[in-house]
Structures are given as structure tokens and as C-alpha cells.
Structure 1
Amino acid sequence: MNFSLTEEQEMVQNTIRNFVRNELIPLEPEVLRNEREGRPGLSPEKHRELQMKAKEIGFWGIETPEEYGGANLGAVMQSIITTELSKTFIPFRLGGFADNILYHCNEEQKKEYLIPTINGDRISCFAITEPGAGSDAKGIRTLAVKDGNEWVINGEKTFISNGNIADFAIVFAVTDREKGANGGVTAFLVDRDMGWRSEAIPTMGEWGADSLVFEDVRVPEKNILGELGKGFELAMKWIGRGRWMVPSRAVGAAERLLQMGVDYSQVRKTFGKPIADYQAIQWKLADSAVEIEATKWLVLRAAWMSENNMDGRHQSAIAKLYGSNMANRVVDRVLQIHGGMGYTKELPIERWYRELRLYRIFEGTDEILRRTIARNLLKGHVKIGEISSPPKLVRS
């Protein structure tokens, strides 16, 4: 059992850490100011400029296959990189990326959707959640009806990331009510100019959620992604990928916040001495360090299982549940350490406080994850005390 990073992993970690320190963190005051004034934190032009800088040092398409110009790094490396990028709240993502299910495009679709998305010429959004179907993805009601060589889509999607800026959506719609989710849901590639519209949903954080409306939107038969009736399987592949990515982000944010707590506690004085000398503060720092460390290894194990083609859904659910709650506890402690200053918009703590609350909702709510973990235990799909990968798990 070896818990150390390889030489390559250390090099990648240090390189991306320097990029974050030198290119992203200096932008934080400007981004906070822009957001306070109701403007986008980072302009599309600046975001693209940063992506090109990252590309120059080798960070482009970190999970994209080499045949499409990517680096095709494994899940462990992706987790390490995600953790480092999450040590800033700057809304930045590396370029050269496409949703994993877009690789199920046929050759014609790859030219029109996949490759332009990887190159940054097109923007996609994943549209499955509906007003009445969030955690219960099988309950979607958006309907697609065959009419000649087209499908007519009607319905509404909600809380869709990139919905307002995407020029095409991966839309999941019911194509056979009798079959339900297993065989009756299909994924479609739907261009915005086919007629759907979007509207922003105001949220407590800076995450941009949007609603999409489809009214008699006509989609050619050739725009089916994958196979007719196999959409739910594709959706689960997309959702499953995010389970260990979210706690990777939680670790990065929590590590940055903890460092802020350590630094501030050593300079802030009360009654003639630094507050770091008080046990009440020391316990907040210690508890945070313990929980961050625990999350880090839960995440890396889940990523390692994914990289080695093991069924790591149970471990990913555990990592996501623990990690998202950990980050919320850490940011609360660090805000408390900073007192009134932590509550102001002069520091990024209150912003993180709002943003991290989302982690307990998207990519699987706390309640759904607990349900999944408990079902795996009760049905005997996992064995308590075993370290090896479980053979078969239930889907959440």
C-alpha cells in the first residue's frame, strides 16, 4: 500500500498549483467587485485567455482522449488537478473538454458537436433535471413524439448549468411512456436555433442555473445521441462521473479556507494575545484538518477505483456525501474565526459559504446518497470491512 504521489503526479500538482497562485488568485478582488456590481465575475474573453495560458503549459483536455488532442490523464490525476483549481473561487475551467457522453456521438455528430466543443467553438449543456424530477431522474416528463423523420419535443428543464450560454443542449426526453426510464428515454442533441429558449434562475450563490423551455421543438432523427431508448443509461454515465469530482473540489476549497483560518488566527489579537492561543480556535482548526484529510483519501480511493475500471459507485457516494458536508463545516468554522470580517463581502469567505452549500444538493443530494449507501449495505452489495471493489451495486 503506497499513499505517496508519483513523480509525475507531484510535478503536475506543483505546476497547476503555481498556475492558480500566479494567474487566478490575483484576479479574486476584481471578480468579487464585478459580482457585487452585478457583472459576470470573469468575462468570456478573459476566461479564454486563461485557458490558452494553461494550454501553453500542457493543461488542455486533461480527460480527453489523445486522438482528439487531449492528455487523457487518469481519474487520480484529474482529482489532483481539480483539487488545486478549487483553491480559488475564480469561475475557471480548463479547456479542451466535452461531456463524457458526447463520445457516444456517431461520426457525423462528432464533427458537428463533439470536436467543436473540445476546441471551445461550441458550448453544451446537460439537460435532464425538471421541476418535478430532480433526484428522481426516472420521473422526467419532457416528451418527444415522432413525426416523420423528426421528433417534436415539449417540456421544461430546470437548474441547468450553462443553459443560458449553451448553443446546444443534450436533452433527455420520454420517447415511449410504456417502457419508462429503462428503454423509454432518449437523448437528443438540440441546437438552440431549433427553437428552445432559456432563462436564468436567481440563486443564493454565484452558480448560474437556468431553465430551458421546449415548445414544439423539432429535432431531426439524426440528432439522437446513442440509441433510441438508451438515454437513461447515458444520463447515469454522466451523473456517475461527477460523484468523486465534487468532493475533489470540496477538498481544494476547504484547504484554502483552512489556511486562511490559520493565518488570521495568528495575527488577530484579543486580550493581548493571538486568538490562535485559545483552545476554542485551535479545536476549529484541528477538526477541519482531520476532516479534510479524511475526505482527501476517500476521494483518491474512489478516483483510483474508477481509473482501474472497478465499480466505485459506493465509494464515490461516500466521498461525495462526506466531502460536501465537510466543506460546509470548514467554511462555517473559518467564518466564525474571522468574526464580523468573515461575514462581509470584503473577504471571499461569505461567497464560499454560499457556493459550498450547493455541494450538498447537486450531483446527488445528501438524502439520496444516504439512501444509496444504506441500500448497498442492506442488500449485501457491499461487505462491511472489505477493501476490495464490490461486484455489483444499485443505481441511485
Structure 2
Amino acid sequence: MDLTLTDEEREIRQWVRAFVTKEIMPLEPEALSRERKHERGVTPEEMRDLQDRAKQAGFFGVQTPEEYGGMGLGATMAALIEIELGRSFIPFRFAGEADNILFDANEEQQASYLVPTIAGDRRSCFAITEPGAGSDARAIRTSAVRDGDEWVINGEKTFITGGHEADFTMVFAVTDPEKHRAGRSGESVTCFLVDRDQGWYSEPIDTMGEWGPASLVFNDVRVPHSAILGEEGRGFAMAMRWIGKGRYLLPARALGACERLVEMAMEHARNRVTFGQPIAERQAIQWMVADSAVDIEALRWLVLSAAWQVDQGNDSRQAQSMAKLYGGTRANEIVDRMLQVHGGMGYTRELPVERWYRELRLLRIYEGTDEIQRRTIARNLLQGYASVRGHLG
């Protein structure tokens, strides 16, 4: 595995690092102040301004193929960029992106959904999770029944990221109940592109962090047969492809947060004096810093290994699950240690430490819980799909 960066790739990473430091981090104090008043930390106008400035510098559509006006960067470079973006709690993303499965759209769908989404004129959401089918995505009950040239969709989705702001959704529904009951979800679930004005509605869900998901309700929502994304009955594999991407990019962003948290804690430890000496000289503090540094380095290699395998076209599911599991558990351990180093100040909302404490907790739940990742990793090993020797064999 060769992770040597080209000169161009090093320049990209350096530019993103400088952009985060000079443009995004200065927004943090005001964002924290607003959030203490239960307001949005960064306004849509501020976010668009950041995206416009990045676009002017050529950063638009990081993973969007060049034929659609993007940069067409691979998974490894995208992961390195996410690490840099993760160094701020501001939820910045470059403009010009679209859900990876939207590129499966036909020509007509691309004109109505993909191209406007890349341009920033439309907003999508991915809807598979249900009140009774979270980690067990195969247990979804939302149905789509064929009625002539239309499909009638009924059901409820929950914890849908961006669901209250989206103007269209990629919703997954059972289109072959018999195969679904037989456990053949790979042939029974279909993805539909459904505009909000076709009848579905949403309700926001309040959470302990800044993540703002929503519930989506479909009551006899009618869509044409042409609303199917991809192939009828083949939606489950498409959904897993969407989820798999998050399983290496989410821990990449958490990795950036952990780097910043440890740097902040070390600076505090050097300056905080108790009983006549800086707490950085105390073994208890040193061990927390050392353990966190080891965890960060291990997570870095798990994330980059998973991304590298994606770039190589390998079956990367095992690597992605390992990165997601380790990233979630270690990031939560690290933020807890670094809050402890900061003492009472870490618990206040004057610093972003407690915000990260709340935000990183989500990493152990969405895009597959810790338990699901462990199940997947063990199953792959026990059934011979993966080896404890890793991808090197």
C-alpha cells in the first residue's frame, strides 16, 4: 500500500488546511455564542460565502467526476480532506457534491436531480432508516405498490439527515413483498426519487448534538414508474453502497477533530499550573496524551487503508467497518480524556470541547452502530469473506 502523495495532492491538502485555519476556525467563537442562545451556529449565508470562496480557488465537487464540473478526486484524497475539515466543528462541506448513488440516474433523472444538486439548486436526502428498522435495514416496511404506470408509496422514515430541508428524497421501499418475506431483500427493495411536492412531509427531530435529522411520512404518495433510480428490486445494494462511503469518511472527519482536541489539551496542560507545576508534567496527563496519540495514529491507518482499497477497486467492506468501529469508539474515548485534561473549563460551552463531546457520540450510532460493525466484521471473518491478515493476505 503506497500512500505517497504527489506534489499536487500535497498542495491540495495544504490548501484545505490553510482554508480551515484562516477561514473556518475564526467563525467558531461566534458560532458557540449563537449556539448558547439556541440559534444556528453558522447561517446559510455564511456557509454559502465559505463555499463560494472555496469555489473561486478551484475547490468544487471534490469527488464529483470532472465531466460534471468537479475535481474527480479519489477516496484517499477525499479522506485526507475530511481529516483537515474535521479540525473545526463547523460542519463545512465543499459545494458541488451529490450522493454517490445519484450518478446511477438515467439521462432524464440527471437533468432533474443530479445536475441541479451539484449546482446547489436542489437538496436531497437519503431515506432508508425506519422506526422499526434502524440497524437492520433489511427489515424496512415502507411499501411501493404498482398501479398502472405509477407506484403508490406508504410508510415512515426516521433519523433522516437533511430530511427537513431537502426538496427531494431517495426513498427505499419494498416492491416485492413475497421476496422480502423470504429474506431476499437484494431483489425486493427499490429506490425512488420523490419530490417533496409529490406529497411527503417531514418533522424535525431534536437531538443532543447539532445533527438535525427528521422523520419523513409517505401517505399514498404517487410517483411515476420513471421515478425509479437504478433498477427495480435492486435498491438494497445501492443503499449499502451509499452507507459504505460514510464508513470511512465519517471516521476521517472525527480523526481531524481528535487531532485538534489533543493539540488544545496539550496547550492547556502546558499553561495550567496546579500545586506549583504545569499539569503537563504530571504522569496522569501524559498518559492520556500518549494513549490518544497512539489511538489517532492507528485510526489514521485504518481510515487511509479503507480509502486506498476503495481506490484500488477492492472489496473494502471489511476495512470500512473496521474504520467506522474504531473511529467511533476511539474518538469518544479521546474527547472524554481531553475534556478531563481541561477540567471544569472543558465542561463549559466557552470551549468547543463539550460540543465535540456531544457531536462525536453520534459516530457510534449512525451509518451502522458499533454493534452492527462488530457483527459485520465477525461474520466476514467466520464465513471466510475476510482474513485476520487483512487485505495483504
Whether TM exceeds 0.5 here: the answer is yes
1:157 equivalenced with 2:193 (yes/no): no
Report which stretch shifted further, 226-235 or 114-123.
226-235
Q: Deviations over 1:354-377 (max 9, x none)?
A: 000000111111101111111111
Q: Deviations over 1:86-135 (max 9, x none)?
A: 10000211110000000111100100000000000000000000000011
Stretches of structure 1 lacking an aligned partner (at least 5 in a row): 390-396
Structure 2 SS opposite 1:317: helix
Could you tell me which residue of structure 1 aligns to residue 196 of structure 2? 192
CA distance in 2, matches of 1:214, 1:56: 40
Report which stretch shifted further, 376-385 or 344-353.
376-385
1:319 equivalenced with 2:317 (yes/no): no
Structure 1 SS opposite 2:177: coil
Aligned match of 2:216 in 198, 212, 217? 212
Structure 1 residue 136, shift from structure 2 partner: 0.6
Report which stretch shifted further, 25-34 or 109-118.
25-34
Could you tell me which residue of structure 2 aligns to residue 122 of structure 1? 122
Q: Deviations over 1:208-249 (max 9, x none)?
A: 111001111111111111111111111111111111111101
Structure 1 SS opposite 2:112: helix
Structure 1 residue 2, shift from structure 2 partner: 4.6
Could you tell me which residue of structure 2 aligns to residue 62 of structure 1? 62
Structure 1 residue 339, shift from structure 2 partner: 0.5
CA distance in 1, matches of 2:243, 2:387: 24
Structure 1 residue 264, shift from structure 2 partner: 0.3
CA distance in 2, matches of 1:386, 1:74: 22
CA distance in 1, matches of 2:296, 2:153: 45
- Letter matched to residue 106 of structure 1: N
Structure 1 SS opposite 2:216: strand
Q: Deviations over 1:262-315 (max 9, x none)?
A: 100000000111100100000000000010001001111110010010111111
Equivalence map 1:89-104=2 (5 Å): 89-104=89-104
Could you tell me which residue of structure 2 aligns to residue 299 of structure 1? 303
Q: Residues 41 and 91 of structure 1 are in contact (CA less than 8 Å); yes or no, is this contact kept in structure 2?
A: no
Give the TM-score of the pair, scaled to structure 1.
Answer: 0.96
Could you tell me which residue of structure 1 aligns to residue 112 of structure 2? 112
Structure 1 SS opposite 2:171: strand
- Letter matched to residue 224 of structure 1: I
Structure 1 residue 386, shift from structure 2 partner: 4.7
Could you tell me which residue of structure 1 aligns to residue 45 of structure 2? 45
Q: Residues 163 and 212 of structure 1 are in contact (CA less than 8 Å); yes or no, is this contact kept in structure 2?
A: yes
Equivalence map 1:1-396=2 (5 Å): 2-180=2-180, 181-388=185-392
* Corresponding residue pairs, total: 389
Structure 2 SS opposite 1:87: coil
Structure 1 residue 3, shift from structure 2 partner: 4.9
Structure 1 SS opposite 2:178: coil
CA distance in 2, matches of 1:3, 1:271: 46
Report which stretch shifted further, 178-187 or 282-291.
178-187
Structure 1 residue 179, shift from structure 2 partner: 1.3
- Letter matched to residue 189 of structure 1: L
Report which stretch shifted further, 145-154 or 73-82.
145-154
Structure 2 SS opposite 1:152: strand
Gap change, CA 1:367 and 1:75, over 3 Å in 2: same
- Letter matched to residue 359 of structure 2: E
Q: Residues 332 and 353 of structure 1 are in contact (CA less than 8 Å); yes or no, is this contact kept in structure 2?
A: yes
Could you tell me which residue of structure 2 aligns to residue 392 of structure 1? none
CA distance in 1, matches of 2:352, 2:292: 18
Gap change, CA 1:232 and 1:351, over 3 Å in 2: same
CA distance in 2, matches of 1:113, 1:332: 41
CA distance in 2, matches of 1:308, 1:386: 15
Structure 1 residue 324, shift from structure 2 partner: 1.2
CA distance in 2, matches of 1:139, 1:147: 24
Stretches of structure 2 lacking an aligned partner (at least 5 in a row): none
- Letter matched to residue 153 of structure 1: I
Structure 1 SS opposite 2:152: strand
CA distance in 2, matches of 1:148, 1:384: 51
Structure 1 residue 388, shift from structure 2 partner: 2.4
